[in-house]
Amino acid sequence: MIALAWVAGHSFALDTTALVDGRAAKLLEKKCIQTEAGGVLPARFDAVARYLSQPDLIQRIQGEYRRSVSKDGTIDFPIIENGNGTYYYINEKNRRTDLFELYRKQTSDSTFDLVYHATGKRYFGKYEVLIHIRAIDAGPAGTIYTAAVYAYPHNGPMRFFARRFGTVERYFQRKTRIIALVSNKICIGLYDPLPYAYQSPLPTLPGAQ
């Protein structure tokens, strides 16, 4: 309960800059739109770390999506692997998003980090996103996870309107909440069948109601 209460009212300061370089590091130097999500997984940290280390992680996640989230066992926008940690998907408006895995490893005895870089185009023009997910050992409470999203629209006037009116910022906030809620359901399916998983209920994400 202490871990749940702490996550609900506390934001983690992720040291994303220390894990990336090149284009991704330069992106963090810009005035990005930032959103966050977090929660607690009902599984021991060592179990989570082993699963996140699997080379076919994306395929495993998509498989669980078909099983526990999709109503008809299909994926609307399947993620296609290009090799060398690169992926892409095409949405319902035939817009492509390219994904690049920049970092995925256990960074300490109690933390595991994943960093992905995405580029694409939406109604507000071209954009880049950096996604940093950290899993943290919470002992008997399970595994705390926190995600930070750094989004940067390339269109200068749109960045101005985003700061002034918040339309693009709300877009990324909404997408972050949706992804976090779907991820919660997938994680329950992934971890609950494991013999070492904790069977405590998963809390609602802060701000996701």
**pLDDT on residue 207:** 32
- Tally of residues, the chain: 209
**pLDDT on residue 187:** 62
**pLDDT on residue 89:** 87
**pLDDT on residue 63:** 79
**pLDDT on residue 112:** 94
**pLDDT on residue 202:** 34
Cα(26)–Cα(209) distance, rounded to whole angstroms? 34
Domain 2-191: homologous superfamily in CATH: START domain (3.30.530.20)
Q: Which residues contact 193 (CB under 8 A, 6 or more apart)?
A: none
pTM: 0.76
Ranges of residues in the chain with a pLDDT under 50 are 1-11, 193-209
Domain ranges of the chain: 2-191
Cα(196)–Cα(194) distance, rounded to whole angstroms? 5
